[in-house]
Amino acid sequence: MELQQAIRQRRSIGKVLDLPVEKEKIERILESAVWAPNHHHTEPWKFFVMTGEGRRVLGSAYANAALDGLGDLDEEEKEKRLSREEAKAMRAPVVIAVGCSPSTNPRVIRSEELAAVHCAVQNILLTAYEEGLGAVWRSGEPMQHPSMKSAFGLKEGEDLVGFIYIGYTGMIAPEGKRIAAKDKTFWIS
């Protein structure tokens, strides 16, 4: 597969089949991630691969994060909501939690560490596509909750940048649309 083809044709695929994904494919995907650019060669990424029952770690963390917002709901409604939160972890046969462990070197800028991990995520998405898999990068407020950080053993200063859901897809990805680069480019000479 040509790089430009992968860049233009890869789409976020949130609905995947409940079929196992070969460990070798996930290893190739992760190996591509570690080749992302990073300042000072800090390699600030961490990957937590969850399959099978291991996804329950994420499900429990989703439920714990949701507890704060359930307030005055009756017990039956709370249980339904918590069950839905736990089920989020089971939407794909493989879920990779991606963390950022910034360098403590005073020369290293935190935003550059996060940018490097985001580049690693892009490598994951492109390589998953190349491997014939569907993938989607999910983020949002639950990632910032202390129960999420605790679930993955993240220390003070470490953060989650996303959950990558990966699996085989039975759907045809929608065609992409973008505004042409020339319409977003400003040349300064």
Query: Would residue 180 count as lying in a domain?
Result: no
Query: Would residue 59 count as lying in a domain?
Result: no
Q: What pLDDT sits at residue 149?
A: 95
Q: What pLDDT sits at residue 76?
A: 84
| pTM for this entry | 0.93
101 is in an annotated binding site: no
Query: Would residue 61 count as lying in a domain?
Result: no
The CATH number that applies at residue 12 is: 3.40.109.10
11 is in an annotated binding site: yes
Query: Would residue 58 count as lying in a domain?
Result: no
Closest C-alpha among 50, 43, 14 to residue 151: 50
The structure tokens listed for 14 are: 């949130």
Q: What pLDDT sits at residue 171?
A: 79
10 is in an annotated binding site: yes
The structure tokens listed for 110 are: 């935190």
What is the C-alpha to C-alpha distance for residues 122 and 120, in angstroms, rounded to an integer?
5
Query: Would residue 62 count as lying in a domain?
Result: no
Query: Would residue 146 count as lying in a domain?
Result: yes
Partners of 138 in the β-ladder: 163
Identify the residue whose tokens are 């089920």: 87
Q: What pLDDT sits at residue 132?
A: 94
Each of the 189 residues of the chain gets a pLDDT tens digit; together they read 788 888 888 999 989 999 999 999 999 999 999 999 999 999 999 999 999 999 999 999 999 998 877 777 778 888 888 899 999 999 999 999 999 999 999 999 999 999 999 999 999 999 999 999 999 999 999 999 999 999 999 999 999 999 999 999 987 888 888 999 999 999 999
39 is in an annotated binding site: yes
Domain count, the chain: 1
The alpha carbons of the chain give a radius of gyration, in whole angstroms, of 18
Q: What pLDDT sits at residue 179?
A: 94
Range of the domain at 12: 3-51+90-173
What is the C-alpha to C-alpha distance for residues 3 and 68, in angstroms, rounded to an integer?
44
Q: What pLDDT sits at residue 154?
A: 97
What is the C-alpha to C-alpha distance for residues 163 and 140, in angstroms, rounded to an integer?
10
What is the C-alpha to C-alpha distance for residues 65 and 144, in angstroms, rounded to an integer?
9
Query: Would residue 95 count as lying in a domain?
Result: yes
The structure tokens listed for 35 are: 């080749």
Backbone angles phi, psi at 173, to 5 degrees: -65, 140
Query: Would residue 25 count as lying in a domain?
Result: yes
Backbone angles phi, psi at 137, to 5 degrees: -100, 115
